[in-house]
Amino acid sequence: MKLIYRLHLSFGLLLIFILAVTATLIYPLLLDTLVENQRKDLREQASRLMTSTLATPLIPAKKTEPAQLQKAIPLAPTTQAVLAAPGDKVFFSTLTEEKAKELLDIAKQVNPQTGISQGKDGKYIVEKFTLPPQSGQPMSAITAVMATPLSEVKSMQLALFQRMMIILSIGGIMAFLLSMVITRRIVKPLTELRKELKKVENRNFNEVRLIRSGGEIGEVASSVYQLAGELDKYQLSQKQFFQNASHELKTPLMSIQGYAEGIKDGIFTGERADKGLDVIVNECERLKKIVTEMILLAKLESEDVIFNMDKVPIQNLINEVIERINPLAFKKGLTIESNCKVSEKNIYIVADREKILQALINITGNATRYAKKTISINAAAGDHTIDIEITDDGEGIPKQLLPFLFQRFTKGKGGETGLGLAISRAIVERCRGQITAANLPSGGAAFILRIPRSR
């Protein structure tokens, strides 16, 4: 069932439940209140009746004409009244003699709590009012019995209850209509969001729109939009990766195949066959390097490689980089400088020593390829991080490469597999650091690794 219908159904059922509970609670309460009011009213009528009757000469009940009496003493049309002297001597009544006697009997069985008594033809609300004997009065100890049939009050209760239910139902319907409008407003963006998620499911990430809505739904919508953006970028980079990887692997394989077939078919013989075999060996070497680096990078990115994070002394780390690169630099006639700005000896970074060394060697190794004379490795300590800066005096990084420099298979003139910097970035980021590259105003390349400092 659709969410909107489920919400409507739940709200409708809730309203019906509230109305039913209100009805069951209010209906008997209404009767109690009406009976209580009626009793009070009967008492007042009794008191009025006695005062006015005592003031006028009393007429025996038989001769009393109810119409006349009611004219003289304002009694409610439904009120039945009997005035009796001790010994149930009815001397005044709005009823016939027989009925008056019956009412006096009913009055004797009245429940004092509820004021209700059972008569022959139904229940009555009865109030008894006795005036104590008074000196100088011709009559003494007069009892007034006032009654109203309960059915009268019940019909009043029903009428009131019906009105109340009509008002509550109108209110309920209005609340239901309002809830429909509100629910529609809440559910609409959810329906739209579902459409956008369908696009994500079908991998059409670039078609996902941002659904504008407030509150939590708005937050979810914006997360979905961002997620789609990230997935789109990821999909694109994966596509590029496979294109580049297949290209990188295909080139050496084609050359290996060409030379191998040439040698087999006797096209290349003697010195040319030897040269071909050299090419095959070199290309195999290159293939091995590409595959090894690709596997390492994949492992780094999938977090398969365990990083042993430790306190690494920065000075010691830089010294080791220089030691490892020195033979290559020496061969090329380059000097490696290290004017370390970290004055104190005991400054440490938090990293996996072997891996961060690998990252630094990749960058410094590149620098040996492009530097003219000098490579510098410096470190500067901040409050929470340490910057390791590797610069050279070469031509600098080609401008068009800069935005993609750390992506896989990005390589420029004189480059090799184009995976070294991607590996370095993966290592630095796994050490919770950042890596950036820029060209120096003087022309050379500068790489900065910002790594968390140990306290």
> Contact positions toward ligand ATP, by CB under 6 A?
293, 362, 366-367, 370, 392, 394, 396-397, 401, 405, 410-412, 415-421, 445
Closer residue to ligand ATP in complex, CB, 394/433: 394
Is position 366 an interface residue for Mg ion (rule: CB under 5 A)? Answer: yes
- Applying CB under 5 A, the span of 34-42, 151-159, 236-244, 416-424 interacting with Mg ion comes to 416-424
- Quick one: which of 119, 252, 420, 444 contacts Mg ion (CB under 5 A)? 420
410 binds, among ligand ATP, Mg ion, none (CB under 5 to 8 A by kind): ligand ATP
Nearest-approach distance from CB 445 to ligand ATP, in angstroms: 4
Coil, helix or strand at residue 239? helix
Strand partners, 285: none
Closer residue to ligand ATP in complex, CB, 66/415: 415
# of chain residues touching Mg ion (CB under 5 A):
2
Closer residue to ligand ATP in complex, CB, 128/425: 425
Residue listed under structure tokens 């070294």? 420
Nearest-approach distance from CB 348 to Mg ion, in angstroms: 27
Would you give the binding string for Mg ion spanning residues 53-92, x where CB under 5 A is met?
----------------------------------------
- Measured at the alpha carbon of residue 247, what is the angle toward residues 246 and 251, in degrees to the nearest 5? 115
Nearest of 146, 26, 170, 161 to residue 94 by alpha carbon: 146
Closer residue to ligand ATP in complex, CB, 149/365: 365
Residues whose CB falls within 8 Å of the CB of residue 231, separated by 6 or more in sequence, listed in order:
200, 203, 205
Is position 252 an interface residue for Mg ion (rule: CB under 5 A)? Answer: no
| Tokens matching residue 396 | 């600098």
- DSSP 8-state assignment for residue 453: B
Rounded Cα–Cα distance for residues 361 and 439 (Å): 19
Residue listed under structure tokens 């009967």? 42
Nearest-approach distance from CB 445 to Mg ion, in angstroms: 12
Nearest-approach distance from CB 365 to Mg ion, in angstroms: 6
Nearest-approach distance from CB 356 to ligand ATP, in angstroms: 16
Nearest-approach distance from CB 216 to Mg ion, in angstroms: 47
Exposed/middle/buried for 419, CB within 10 Å: 0-12, 13-18, 19+? buried
Our CA dihedral for 211, 214, 216, 220, rounded to 10 degrees, sits at 20
Nearest-approach distance from CB 420 to Mg ion, in angstroms: 3
Closer residue to Mg ion in complex, CB, 289/299: 289
172 binds, among ligand ATP, Mg ion, none (CB under 5 to 8 A by kind): none
88 binds, among Mg ion, ligand ATP, none (CB under 5 to 8 A by kind): none
Rounded Cα–Cα distance for residues 181 and 186 (Å): 9
Rounded Cα–Cα distance for residues 436 and 434 (Å): 7
Rounded Cα–Cα distance for residues 367 and 376 (Å): 10
| Tokens matching residue 373 | 């004379």
Nearest-approach distance from CB 259 to ligand ATP, in angstroms: 23
Is position 364 an interface residue for Mg ion (rule: CB under 5 A)? Answer: no
Closer residue to Mg ion in complex, CB, 30/361: 361
Is position 418 an interface residue for Mg ion (rule: CB under 5 A)? Answer: no
252 binds, among ligand ATP, Mg ion, none (CB under 5 to 8 A by kind): none
Nearest-approach distance from CB 392 to ligand ATP, in angstroms: 5
Closer residue to ligand ATP in complex, CB, 268/406: 406
- Applying CB under 5 A, the span of 11-19, 121-129, 309-317, 419-427 interacting with Mg ion comes to 419-427
Nearest of 448, 452, 287 to residue 379 by alpha carbon: 448
Read out DSSP for 284-345? Answer: HHHHHHHHHHHHHHHHHHTT-SPP--EEEEHHHHHHHHHHHHHHHHHHTT-EEE------SS
Dihedral-angle region of residue 418 (phi above 0 means left; psi in -120 to 50 means alpha; beta otherwise): left
Task: Report yes or no: 126 and 115 within 8 Å, Cβ to Cβ.
Answer: yes
Closer residue to ligand ATP in complex, CB, 358/385: 358
- DSSP 8-state assignment for residue 149: E
Rounded Cα–Cα distance for residues 64 and 74 (Å): 15
Nearest-approach distance from CB 232 to ligand ATP, in angstroms: 24
Is position 410 an interface residue for Mg ion (rule: CB under 5 A)? Answer: no
Nearest of 132, 158, 172 to residue 50 by alpha carbon: 132
Closer residue to ligand ATP in complex, CB, 205/406: 406
Q: Which residues bind Mg ion (CB under 5 A)?
A: 366, 420
